[in-house]
Amino acid sequence: MDDKQASLRFRAVSRRAHAGVAFSDVLIGLVLTVAIIGLLLFLMAKQSDVLNSKQVGGAVPAASSAVCRTNLESVRSLIAAAKAADPSGRCPASLSDVGGVAESMTKCPLSPNEPYWYDSSTGQVHCQHPGHENY
């Protein structure tokens, strides 16, 4: 075999080996890219489910908490009005004695619907439901 044939044969083997490495590199890169995209899609879908469950599951308690605050503000206003209207300046003896307070306004709207705590000596009214103590 002369130098020219050896040189051509070396180039042919070199091209095949080089082409095989390039193909495997492309294949590995493609597999990794698909895996990363799949992982990202999975994580996004999982996070979306978590967010949606928090939004749906948290909407009802949040709305009920807002109703609780509104009820307490209304009851406090009615107690202040009843105290101002009383000639001796006393607060009503119970929430049922406060004019304009409906039965539904005397307890927390969240289950188990605890009745509001009322102190007739001070006129203070508070919710006993966990998390509502400072309303």
User: What's the rounded Cα separation, in Å, for the pair 131 and 40?
Assistant: 37
Q: Of 3 and 132, which is predicted with more confidence?
A: 132
Question: Which pLDDT score, from 0 to 100, does residue 18 have?
Answer: 54
Question: Which pLDDT score, from 0 to 100, does residue 5 have?
Answer: 62
Question: Which pLDDT score, from 0 to 100, does residue 15 have?
Answer: 56
Q: Are 82 and 94 in contact (CB under 8 A)?
A: no
Q: Which residues pair with 115 in a beta bridge?
A: 107
Give residue-wise pLDDT tens across range 80-118.
888 888 888 888 888 888 888 888 888 888 878 888 998
Question: Exposure string (b/e) for 50-83, b if CB count within 10 Å is 16 or more?
Answer: eeeeeeeeeeeeeebbeebeebbeebeebbeebe
Question: Which pLDDT score, from 0 to 100, does residue 59 have?
Answer: 65
Q: Are 126 and 133 in contact (CB under 8 A)?
A: yes
User: What's the rounded Cα separation, in Å, for the pair 59 and 62?
Assistant: 5
Question: Which pLDDT score, from 0 to 100, does residue 32 have?
Answer: 85
Any idea which of 18-22, 44-48, 91-95 has the lowest mean pLDDT? Answer: 18-22
Average pLDDT on 72-84 reads 88
What residue spans define the domains of the chain?
3-126
130 contacts: CB under 8 Å, gap ≥ 6: none
Average pLDDT on 113-126 reads 88
70 contacts: CB under 8 Å, gap ≥ 6: none
pLDDT band at 9 (very low <50, low <70, confident <90, very high): low
